[in-house]
Amino acid sequence: MASTFSNLGLILMATGEDSGTWGYKTNVNIQRIDFAMDGIAELTITGSTTLAFSTNSDTTTYTQEAGRAGILVLSGTPSSVPTITVPNIEKQYLVNNTMSTTAVFTAGAGAANATVAAGAKSIIYVDGSDEVIEAVTDTVNTPGGSNYQVQFNDNGSFGAITNTTAGYILTSNGTGATPTFQANSGVSTGKAIAMAIVFG
For the chain, what are the domain ranges?
1-37, 39-55+65-141, 150-199
Q: Three-state secondary structure along the chain? A: CCCEECCCCCEECCCCCCCCCHHHHHHHHHHHHHHHHHCEEEEECCCCEECCCCCCCCCCCCCCCHHHCCEEEEECCCCCCCEEECCCCEEEEEEEECCCCCEEEECCCCCCCEEECCCCEEEEEEECCCCEEEEEECHHHCCCCCCCCEEEEECCEEEEECCCCCCCEEECCCCCCCCEEECCCCCCHHHHHHHHHHHC
Query: Cα separation of 72 and 70, whole Å?
Result: 7
Q: 102: buried, middle or exposed (CB in 10 Å: 19+, 13-18, 0-12)? A: middle
Query: Cα separation of 26 and 47, whole Å?
Result: 36
Distances in Å between the Cα of 145 and the Cα atoms of 92, 115, 131, 153, 161 are 32, 21, 33, 12, 7
Taking alpha carbons only, the member of 39, 40, 149 closest to residue 98 is: 40
Q: Looking at the DSSP assignment, which residues form a beta bridge with residue 65?
A: none
Taking alpha carbons only, the member of 86, 82, 168, 83 closest to residue 127 is: 86
pLDDT of res. 111? 83
pLDDT of res. 27? 95
How would you classify residue 156: left for phi > 0, otherwise alpha for psi between -120 and 50, otherwise beta? left
Taking alpha carbons only, the member of 129, 130, 137 closest to residue 95 is: 137
pLDDT (tens place) for every residue of the chain, 200 residues total: 688 999 999 999 998 888 899 899 999 999 999 999 999 999 999 999 999 999 888 899 999 999 999 999 999 999 999 999 999 999 999 999 999 999 999 998 778 999 999 999 999 999 999 999 999 877 555 566 677 677 777 766 677 777 666 767 777 766 667 777 777 776 666 666 776 777 76
Can you give the pTM of this predicted structure? 0.71
